[in-house]
């Protein structure tokens, strides 16, 4: 992949992106499509980021369906293929299913890596590989990035470095416990008692892989497991891919999934002793195990960014970001890829965005490219002008099939503005929070949402004379919105904005 003469020698660039995982690749190709010059640096030797190694047991939890109700390569198809990056050129879309062997809708790690490499090749994403980011400081008109190849300066720096650093909570004795990334081949756990710290996807991924081998598996963490089948959210802590060990627990098959804080861990010769205290059910429990694994997640490698005053949350693991993924405390520093989860959004009914996975952050990165082009570089990008009669059908079509809205529920919205002169402009895909909290002309933003009963519906946010009102349109059992009744309801909501006779 590396070019004979590496691109982007040290020097000054308008934007520097650090990282060549899916986040860095998506942002780079989206900036290039908008003619915004930038450099991409990566410590790796090839594209792919975390998918060059993870998930550990080699299959993703997010679907890519070769066959779907809509045509492959269309924009709507992106909802059925959560793992391929986005391209304006149809020839570069729907890449991943090309490489899948038909045994599952969940691609293997190798298939995912291959699709990212192919995307980088076909989209001609240029990256300076083998260039390690080592430090950052404020410089003239922006920032100075220190790297293994020399110094780069830029107005805007985007860190798409993944949440890639193994992380453990502060528990006495945990330092000696192997992290998820250090899990041994499964045969090493044959007939052993395995204690897994954690009850999120990586913990259940381990439990699922070790299930045919281990004598007993105990999963424990303070918070109850949140299963996507119950919460109807893809951002739940456990996806359907890994529910077999949980079912085993529910049926009393031997696996345990306990809500308990881990007080301390001891090494007693060949065995481990784990002391716990129940959280949802009080009481102390002590476990002897032959192996303990900390499936406690990852943190963001922030390095010297902290010295610039970066504010973080989630036990100091994630930078706190604006709706457009800029640090709330260090303007000019943006975060891409999975770290874009630092822009939390509204979390309506408790549902998180999918910004922590490719399915969500690929859309974020395209919105970020558009935002940077317009605001930081004043690029004159065209916007579609709509006639009054086009507005309702356009919004209904968007809520019915726009992948941005379905992947990023109550997080990304399609927005349309209405100027004082009556000119109706498609404002594109925007963070819903930005639309709600920014002043602006009259307009409407429309989303896909899931409420507390698990019902999928559309949120309609109408801004009229500076006041935003919210209404919801239920989808019905067939998940369709484009019915005469929906159109009539939406038109009714838009009456203050549109001239009469617009339906």
Partner 1 sequence: MVERSEIVDTMAGLALFADLTRAQVEGVSHTFEEQWFADGERILRQGLGGSALYVILEGEAAVHIDGQRRAGLSRGDFFGEISVLLGDPPSADVVAVGSVRCAVLAGPDVETFLLTYPRVMYRMLQAAARRLRQANQWRS
Residues in 415-474 that interact with partner 1 by CB under 8 A: 436-437, 449, 451-452, 468-470, 472
Helix axes 22-33, 358-375, angle to 10 degrees: 40
55 or 319: CB nearest partner 1:
319
Structure tokens at 107: 């691609």
Q: 404: how many CB neighbours lie within 10 A of its CB?
A: 26
- Residue 286 binds to partner 1 (criterion: CB under 8 A): no
Query: Phi/psi class of residue 259: alpha, beta or left (left: φ > 0; alpha: ψ in -120 to 50)?
Result: beta
E strand map for 187-295:
193-197, 216-221, 256-268, 271-278, 284-289, 291-294
104 versus 322: smaller Cβ distance to partner 1: 322
For residue 186, state whether it binds partner 1 (rule: CB under 8 A).
Answer: no
Handedness of CA 318, 320, 326, 329 (dihedral sign): negative
Binding of partner 1 by 261 (CB under 8 A): yes
The residue among 500, 415, 424, 404 whose CA lies nearest residue 462 is 415
Q: How far apart are CA 289 and CA 269, in angstroms?
A: 11
Q: Is 462 left (phi over 0), alpha (psi -120 to 50) or beta?
A: beta
Binders of partner 1 among residues 340 to 399 (CB under 8 A) are 344, 346-351
With CA atoms as reference, report the closest residue to 279 among 264, 260, 292: 260
Longest dimension (CA), the chain: 81
Residue 350 CB, shortest distance to partner 1, in Å, is 2
What is the rounded CA–CA span in Å between residue 112 and residue 118?
10
Three-state DSSP state, 316: coil
By CB under 8 A, residue 311 contacts partner 1: yes
Pick one of 316, 385, 495, 499: the residue that binds partner 1 (CB under 8 A): 316
| Residue of 158, 410, 415, 444 that binds partner 1 (CB under 8 A) | 410
Convert residues 73-112 into a mask of x (bound to partner 1 by CB under 8 A) and - (unbound). ----------------------------------------
Taking CB under 8 A as the rule, does residue 6 contact partner 1?
no
What would the DSSP string read from start to end of 308-353?
GT--EETTTTEE-B-TTSBBSSSTTEEE-GGGGGGS----GGGPPP
Query: Given the rule CB under 8 A, which of 4-12, 13-21, 248-256, 272-280 is the region that contacts partner 1?
Result: 272-280
Residue 23 pairs in a beta bridge with none
Tally the residues of the chain.
503
Nearer to partner 1, 246 or 461 (CB): 461
Site string for partner 1, 152-181 (x = CB under 8 A): -------------xxxxxx---xx------
Q: Of the candidates 64, 84, 299, 355, which one interacts with partner 1 according to CB under 8 A?
A: 299
Residues 204-223 that bind partner 1 (CB under 8 A): 221-223
Residue selected from 88, 149, 259, 482 as contacting partner 1 according to rule CB under 8 A: 259
Q: Which is nearer to partner 1, 17 or 164 (CB)?
A: 164
Pick the closer one to partner 1 by CB: 27 or 351: 351
Return residues touching partner 1 (CB under 8 A): 165-170, 174-175, 221-224, 259-261, 263, 277-280, 282, 299, 311, 313-317, 320, 322, 328, 344, 346-351, 410, 436-437, 449, 451-452, 468-470, 472
């Amino acid at each position: 992949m590396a070019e004979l003469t590496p691109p982007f020698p040290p020097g000054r660039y308008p934007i520097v992106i650090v990282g060549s995982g899916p986040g860095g690749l998506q942002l780079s190709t989206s900036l290039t499509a908008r003619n915004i010059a930038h450099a991409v640096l990566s410590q790796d030797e090839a594209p792919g980021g975390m998918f060059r190694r993870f998930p550990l047991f080699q299959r993703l939890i997010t679907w890519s369906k070769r066959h779907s109700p809509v045509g492959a390569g269309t924009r709507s198809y992106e909802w059925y293929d959560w793992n391929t990056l986005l391209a304006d050129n149809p020839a570069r879309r729907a890449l991943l299913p090309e490489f899948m062997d038909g045994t599952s809708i969940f691609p293997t790690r190798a298939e995912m890596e291959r699709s990212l490499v192919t995307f980088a090749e076909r989209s001609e994403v240029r990256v300076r590989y083998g260039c390690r980011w080592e430090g950052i400081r404020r410089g003239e008109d922006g920032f100075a990035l220190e790297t293994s190849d020399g110094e780069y300066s830029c107005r805007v720096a985007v860190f798409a470095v993944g949440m890639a650093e193994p992380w453990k909570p502060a528990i006495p004795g945990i330092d000696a416990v192997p992290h998820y990334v250090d899990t041994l081949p499964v045969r090493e756990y044959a007939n052993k008692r395995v204690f897994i710290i954690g009850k999120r996807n990586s913990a259940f991924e381990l439990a699922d892989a070790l299930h045919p081998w281990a004598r007993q598996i105990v999963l424990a963490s303070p918070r109850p497991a949140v299963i996507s089948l119950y919460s109807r959210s893809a951002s739940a802590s456990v996806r359907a891919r890994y529910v077999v060990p949980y079912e085993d627990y529910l049926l009393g098959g031997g696996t345990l999934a306990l809500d308990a804080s881990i007080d301390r861990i001891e090494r007693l010769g060949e065995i481990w002793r784990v002391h716990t205290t129940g959280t949802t059910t009080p009481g102390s429990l002590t476990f002897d195990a032959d192996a303990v694994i900390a499936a406690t997640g990852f943190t963001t490698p922030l390095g010297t960014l902290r010295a610039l005053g970066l504010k973080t949350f989630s036990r100091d693991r994630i930078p706190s970001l604006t709706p457009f993924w800029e640090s709330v405390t260090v303007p000019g520093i943006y975060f891409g890829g999975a770290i874009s989860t630092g822009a939390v959004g509204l979390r309506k009914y408790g549902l998180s965005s999918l910004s922590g996975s490719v399915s969500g952050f690929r859309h974020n990165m395209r919105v970020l490219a558009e935002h940077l082009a317009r605001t930081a570089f004043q690029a004159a990008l065209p916007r579609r002008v709509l006639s009054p009669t086009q507005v309702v059908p356009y919004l209904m079509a968007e809520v019915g099939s726009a992948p941005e809205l379905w992947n990023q529920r109550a997080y990304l919205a399609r927005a349309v503005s209405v100027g004082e002169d009556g000119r109706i402009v498609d404002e594109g895909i925007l963070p819903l929070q930005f639309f709600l909290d920014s002043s602006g002309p009259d307009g409407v933003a429309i989303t896909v949402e899931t409420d507390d009963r698990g019902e999928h519906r559309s949120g309609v946010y109408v801004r009229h004379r500076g006041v935003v009102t919210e209404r919801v349109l239920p989808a019905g059992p067939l998940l369709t919105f484009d019915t005469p009744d929906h159109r009539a309801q939406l038109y009714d909501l838009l009456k203050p904005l549109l001239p009469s006779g617009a339906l």
